[in-house]
Structure 1
Amino acid sequence: MADFLPLLVELGTEELPPKALPELAQAFHDGVLKGLAARRIEVRDAGGGDLPAGPLYTPRRLAVFLPAVATQQPMQRSEVPGPYTNIGLDAQGQPTPALLGFAQKNGVDWTKLDRVTDAKGMRFVFRSSRPGAATSDLLADIVAEALKALPVPKPMRWGERDYSFVRPAHWLVILFGREVAPGEVLGLKSDRMSRGHRFHHAKGVWLNEAGEYLQAMREARVLADPRERRERIRAEIKAAAKLAGGEARVPPALLEEVNCLVEWPKAVLCSFDKDFLRVPSEALVLTMESNQKFFPVMDADGKLSEKFIGIANIESKDPDEVRKGYERVIRPRFADAAFFYDEDLKQGLASMADGLASVTYQQKLGSVADKSGRVAALAGHIAGMLGLDADQARRAASLAKADLQSRLVGEFPELQGTAGRYYATAAGEPEAVAAAIDEAYQPRFGGDAIAPSPLGRVLAIAERLDTLAGGFAAGLKPTGNKDPFALRRNALGLARTIIEGELELELPALVDAAAKNLPAGLPLDQGELLDFILDRLRAYYADQNVPGLQFEAVAEVRPASLLDFDRRLKAIAEFARLRESGALAAANKRIRNILRKVESPIPDAVDKGKLAEPAEQALHDALASALADTDPMLAKRDYVGTLKRLAKLQGPVDNFFDRTMVMAEDTGLRDNRLALLRGVADRFATVAAVEQLSAG
């Protein structure tokens, strides 16, 4: 039985790219495990201990720690197939040259060969076994393979070396228990000597054994475990924000990026001139987070304060100097933002809107001003459909793109709409108009909320409708991975706004209105666009774990309203949980198949006088009762109630098929029965094509 020892691998480098670091570290960790598994070297989870499972990394190192790795490969057994006995032995049972040659090749007497039987008969085989190699002798190759497989798009060379990696590599540790595993990777010989913090411990770190790694690195002012480092950053930020009397804004993506920039994090509380707070807070926050990797501090009311927190990669003896440095770099960026904002206020949003006429949106679709005009017309139309103020909708839409001409958006493109809201407020526009200008962009990304206000939703729908209609009419439909006008995202945003906003709007009517606004000579295939929008819903509902068969059941009947589509889908989900659903889905599928094959006209109504069999009379009565019960339900769009009531038809439908010949020789009986079945199918189809739920 093999012994087990802890394994530590650490590759020291120049500073690694922070955004790629977690992926690189995970891939390195997985690669080492894959290499061990390929060589059948057992790895156990010893549990507990100072070192956690998972990759270890800092800006200057990639590391893997495995608490229990077998010290040797298992016994290596092999089986080499030889000739079949009818070829290896002659009539007298003596070895043929073919068998003797096989035995000689494998270094044994032919009588020592084993025999096995397979599908073709009995054959000779040579079986051998040998002890596995020592794990320590294989580790360097495993590490090299893992590094070679890392997702590095542009490896670099350094010095006069023939090796390449994402960054220059300077040291390599491969410790197996207390011993250094021999080998060379990227021109570096394996060692037990790591390195500490670049400034706090600018010298080597001797590692006695693999299990001492984290503590030895802590003493050298390096937190090698990213989980520990991340929590240290959180704690430092929280303590600094408390001193400032507020709470820090800590976006997960920024926290992770900062975690990949430091080895020994230390929070530094800083401040800026309060006068800058007159600038839109989103611009200041964007500057702090995106450009400088600082954490803004919000006051007790949740508003941006003049405090912010930087995370230093050093515990300075003079923290005031670090603070001054952080404040010095933020000041000119804030000054630029303030200048842009002030100049934009002088120009005014209406003046910016006038300038959109000189900005081309798309060659066939005219200028941005042309697009704004189309969106304004659509917004007014949609607002009227929803009982909202059409004038406000048109006003908001006419100003929604104006901030594209602003200096602030020129510097911070992410502030489109947000800047417009500030400028509209400053110009005295109604609050609903100003908010809608900003909300028109929602949802801005996957997982973002839809526009919260009614007017904002109107603008969001109108903007996306025009983009989709114009894109399809101008021949800009997405192909493969290419979608320059983000039509897929716009279609999903449109659908989400209607569904999640619970807006009673019929999609074909909306598309028709958008088509009428397009420039002359740009015909739109409205059916194609409707199919495209509907197709976006597949992924939307798939993310909500809605089965594909249920989606198809509703898509088959093509509800005009997307909100109605959502209601029907929820009803189908309820129906699918009923005991009767499977049998009724199969029965509806059988009915549809029968009706599809009928070439002659089917009567519009059932003739009660031609109901010859008790089973068809019973189904007719049951259907008549179900129709009477579900008519008021359908009028109220109570699809759940409708399907639950129709589920009671299972018994009469099953009995009908068991006891009645549908395709009778008497054409009168046959047509009457077909009319009865069509009545059943049509009533189910008022909600969804339930036959789609039948996989058979």
Structure 2
Amino acid sequence: MADFLPLLIELGTEELPPKALPELAQAFHAGVLKGLAARRIVVREDNTGEVPTGPLYTPRRLAVYLPAVSTQQPIQHSEVPGPYTNIGLDAQGQPTQALLGFAQKNGVDWTKLDRVTDAKGMRFVFRSSRPGSATSELLAEIVAEALKALPVPKPMRWGERDFAFVRPAHWLVILFGRDVAPGEVLGLKSDRMSRGHRFHHAKGVWLNEAGEYLQAMREAKVLADPRERRQRVLAEIRAAAKQAGGEARVPDALLEEVNCLVEWPKAVLCSFEPDFLRVPPEALVLTMETNQKFFPVMDADGKLTEKFIGIANIESKNPDEVRKGYERVIRPRFADAAFFFDEDLKQGLASMAEGLASVTYQQKLGTVADKSARVAALAREIASRVGASPADADRAAVLAKADLQSRLVGEFPELQGTAGRYYAAAAGESEAVAAAIDEAYQPRFAGDAIAPSPLGRALAIAERLDTLAGGFAAGLKPTGNKDPFALRRNALGLARTIIEGELELDLPALVDAAAANLPAGVSLDKRELLDFIVDRLRGYYADQDVPTLQFEAVAEVRPDSLLDFDRRLKAIAEFARLRESGALAAANKRIRNILRKVETPIPDRVDSGKLAEPAEQALHEALSSALADTDPMLAKRDYVGTLKRLAKLQAPVDEFFDKTMVMADDTALRDNRLALLRGVADRFAAVAAVEQLSAG
């Protein structure tokens, strides 16, 4: 039975790019496991150790620790295919030159070769076995393969070396148990000597055995486990925020990035002049988080305070100097933001809006002012249907793009709409108009909420609808990965706003209105745009685990309202859970196939006097009753109730197909039966194409 030992691999480098670091570490860990598996070296869990088996990394190292790795490959079996027997043997059953050559090449007599049969017939094979190699002899090769496979788009070279990597590499540890596994990777010979923190422990760290890695690193002021380090960062942030009497804002992405910037995190509580709080807090937060990787501190009401937290990669003997440094770097950026804000207030939002007449939106679609006018026309129409003020919608649309002319948005493009809200409020616009200017951009990203107010939703829909209509009309449709006007994102945002906002809107009518507003000289394929919008819903509902067949069942009937589309989809999900759904889906598919092949006109109504068979009489009676019951349901768009009622048709439909010949020789009988079947199919189609649920 093979022995098992812990394995440690550590590659020390210059500071790695923080945003790419987790992916690099995960890929390195996976690559090592892949290399071991390819050589049939067993890796198993050992729950007694404290060291995790996930990737380990800091800004200066990529590491892999596996608690139990087999010390030896198993016996290696190989099988070399040779010639087929009809080629290897002559008519007398004697070996041909081809077979003798194959046997000689493998060092055996041809009579010792085995025979196997595959799809082409019987052939000779040479089978052999040899002892497996010691794992330690293979580790350097495995590490080299794993590093070569890392997702490094632009590797760099350093010094006189011929090697390339994401950053210069300076040391390599490969410890298998207590022993160094021999080898050389990236010009570095494997060793047991790691390195500690650049400032706290600027010397080597001798590792006696693989299992002591994390503790040895801690003693050298390095937290090599990113999970432990992240918890330390969070604890430091929370302690500093508590000291400030508030709560830190800690976005996951920023926490992850900061975690990849430090090896020994230490929070430093800082502050800035309270006068800067007159600037839109979003600008200050953006500066702190994006530019400086600081964590803002909020008060009990969620408002920004003058406190913020920096995470140092050193436990300084003079933390006041670190604090002063952080405060010093942030002050000029805040001063710039304050200056831009003050100058924008002097200009005013209305003046900014006037300047949009000189800014080209798109050559075929005119200026940004032209676009704002088109959006205003759509917004007025939509507002009247969603319970918002058309006058407010017009005003908000006219001002919505004005902050593109502001200095603040010029410096912080992410604040488009947000800045406009502040400028509108300062100019005396109503609270609803000011909020709608900001809400028009929601959802801004995947997972973001839709606009919360009816006015904001009206503006959000109008903005996206004009962008989509104009983009398609101007020939800017997405191709492959290219989507310069973000039409895919706009289509999904439009659909989400309608569905999640529960807005009953006629989408084809809105597309008609958007097309009518477009400049002369451009034309819109309305059906193509509608198909594009519906197609964006595939991913939206796939993320909600809606089966593709259910989506197709609703998409085929093309409801004009996306909210209605959503209702039908929920009804189909309920229907699919019914015992009768499978048989009815198959029956509807059969009906559709029959009707599709009919070339002569089918009567509009069933003639009850021509119903000759008991089965067709029973189906007609059941259908008539179902039609009477579901008419009021459909009028109220009660699709769940409709399908549950129609599910009762399963037995008479099955009986009809079992006992009745649809395509009878008698034309009158045949046409009457086709009319009956079309009645069944049409009533189901009033909700969805349920035949799509039948995979057969």
Query: Is the structural similarity TM-score above 0.5?
Result: yes
- 1:157 counterpart = 2:157: yes
* Aligned residue in 1 for 2:114: 115
* Aligned residue in 1 for 2:283: 283
Secondary structure of residue in 2 paired with 1:307: strand
* Structure 1 segment 133-282 matched on structure 2, within 5 A: 133-282=133-282
In 1, the alpha carbon distance for the partners of 2:261 and 2:530 equals 47
Structure 1 range deviating more: 98-107 or 171-180:
98-107
Secondary structure of residue in 1 paired with 2:215: helix
In 2, the alpha carbon distance for the partners of 1:676 and 1:146 equals 67
Structure 1 range deviating more: 231-240 or 387-396:
387-396
Shift of 1:227: 0.4
* Aligned residue in 1 for 2:480: 480
In 2, the alpha carbon distance for the partners of 1:379 and 1:121 equals 73
Secondary structure of residue in 2 paired with 1:127: strand
* Aligned residue in 2 for 1:341: 341
Q: Which runs of 5+ in 2 are unaligned?
A: none
In 2, the alpha carbon distance for the partners of 1:380 and 1:89 equals 88
* Aligned residue in 2 for 1:586: 586
Shift of 1:78: 2.3
Which residue identity does 1:375 align to in structure 2? V
Q: Deviations over 1:84-123 (max 9, x none)?
A: 6777678998777666554443334556x14334257766
* Aligned residue in 2 for 1:691: 691
* Aligned residue in 2 for 1:501: 501
Which residue identity does 1:468 align to in structure 2? L
Shift of 1:150: 0.8
* Aligned residue in 2 for 1:540: 540
CA contact (8 A) 1:81 1:125 kept: yes
CA contact (8 A) 2:13 2:167 kept: yes
Which residue identity does 1:297 align to in structure 2? V
Secondary structure of residue in 2 paired with 1:31: helix
In 2, the alpha carbon distance for the partners of 1:403 and 1:86 equals 82
Secondary structure of residue in 2 paired with 1:646: helix
Q: Deviations over 1:349-392 (max 9, x none)?
A: 00110111111000010100110011011101111223421000
Query: How has the CA–CA distance of structure 1 residues 362 and 194 changed in structure 2, closer, same or farther, with 3 Å as cutoff?
Result: same
In 1, the alpha carbon distance for the partners of 2:321 and 2:372 equals 51
Q: Deviations over 1:563-586 (max 9, x none)?
A: 001001100110111111111111
Shift of 1:254: 0.2
CA contact (8 A) 1:115 1:122 kept: no
In 2, the alpha carbon distance for the partners of 1:165 and 1:454 equals 53
Structure 1 range deviating more: 436-445 or 529-538:
529-538
* Structure 1 segment 32-47 matched on structure 2, within 5 A: 32-47=32-47
- 1:652 counterpart = 2:679: no
Q: Which runs of 5+ in 1 are unaligned?
A: none
* Aligned residue in 2 for 1:465: 465
Q: Deviations over 1:290-323 (max 9, x none)?
A: 0000000001111001100000000000111101
Matched residues, number:
695
* Aligned residue in 2 for 1:396: 396
CA contact (8 A) 2:404 2:410 kept: yes
Shift of 1:433: 0.4
In 2, the alpha carbon distance for the partners of 1:457 and 1:442 equals 8
Shift of 1:79: 3.1
Which residue identity does 2:653 align to in structure 1? V
In 2, the alpha carbon distance for the partners of 1:625 and 1:79 equals 71
* Aligned residue in 2 for 1:297: 297
In 1, the alpha carbon distance for the partners of 2:89 and 2:610 equals 83
Shift of 1:682: 0.9
Shift of 1:228: 0.3
CA contact (8 A) 1:35 1:145 kept: yes
Query: What do you get for the CA RMSD once the two structures are aligned?
Result: 1.6
Structure 1 range deviating more: 91-100 or 67-76:
91-100
CA contact (8 A) 2:267 2:312 kept: yes
CA contact (8 A) 2:116 2:125 kept: no
Which residue identity does 1:19 align to in structure 2? K
Secondary structure of residue in 2 paired with 1:480: coil
* Aligned residue in 2 for 1:678: 678
In 2, the alpha carbon distance for the partners of 1:93 and 1:546 equals 63
Q: Deviations over 1:170-192 (max 9, x none)?
A: 11111111111111111111110
Shift of 1:546: 0.8
- 1:26 counterpart = 2:26: yes
Structure 1 range deviating more: 668-677 or 277-286:
668-677
Q: Deviations over 1:148-184 (max 9, x none)?
A: 1111111111111111111111111111111111111
Query: How has the CA–CA distance of structure 1 residues 93 and 498 changed in structure 2, closer, same or farther, with 3 Å as cutoff?
Result: closer
* Aligned residue in 2 for 1:308: 308
* Aligned residue in 2 for 1:385: 385
CA contact (8 A) 1:384 1:390 kept: yes
* Structure 1 segment 550-561 matched on structure 2, within 5 A: 550-561=550-561
Query: How has the CA–CA distance of structure 1 residues 230 and 95 changed in structure 2, closer, same or farther, with 3 Å as cutoff?
Result: same
Normalized against structure 1, the TM-score is what?
0.97
In 1, the alpha carbon distance for the partners of 2:424 and 2:80 equals 82
Secondary structure of residue in 1 paired with 2:650: helix
Which residue identity does 2:671 align to in structure 1? D
Secondary structure of residue in 1 paired with 2:593: helix
In 2, the alpha carbon distance for the partners of 1:157 and 1:329 equals 33
Which residue identity does 1:656 align to in structure 2? F
* Aligned residue in 2 for 1:127: 127
In 2, the alpha carbon distance for the partners of 1:359 and 1:432 equals 27
Query: How has the CA–CA distance of structure 1 residues 483 and 86 changed in structure 2, closer, same or farther, with 3 Å as cutoff?
Result: closer
Structure 1 range deviating more: 588-597 or 265-274:
588-597
Q: Deviations over 1:641-672 (max 9, x none)?
A: 00000111111111111111111122111111
CA contact (8 A) 2:114 2:127 kept: no
In 2, the alpha carbon distance for the partners of 1:354 and 1:552 equals 47
In 2, the alpha carbon distance for the partners of 1:438 and 1:69 equals 57
CA contact (8 A) 2:157 2:165 kept: yes
In 2, the alpha carbon distance for the partners of 1:413 and 1:64 equals 41
* Aligned residue in 1 for 2:70: 70
Shift of 1:602: 1.4
Which residue identity does 1:378 align to in structure 2? L
Q: Deviations over 1:392-416 (max 9, x none)?
A: 0000000000000001000000000
* Structure 1 segment 328-367 matched on structure 2, within 5 A: 328-367=328-367
In 2, the alpha carbon distance for the partners of 1:101 and 1:465 equals 74
Query: How has the CA–CA distance of structure 1 residues 99 and 366 changed in structure 2, closer, same or farther, with 3 Å as cutoff?
Result: closer
* Aligned residue in 1 for 2:570: 570
Shift of 1:549: 1.0
In 2, the alpha carbon distance for the partners of 1:540 and 1:101 equals 62
In 1, the alpha carbon distance for the partners of 2:99 and 2:626 equals 81
* Aligned residue in 1 for 2:668: 668
Secondary structure of residue in 1 paired with 2:321: helix
Normalized against structure 2, the TM-score is what?
0.97
In 2, the alpha carbon distance for the partners of 1:391 and 1:83 equals 86
Which residue identity does 2:372 align to in structure 1? S
Which residue identity does 1:306 align to in structure 2? E
In 2, the alpha carbon distance for the partners of 1:87 and 1:367 equals 78
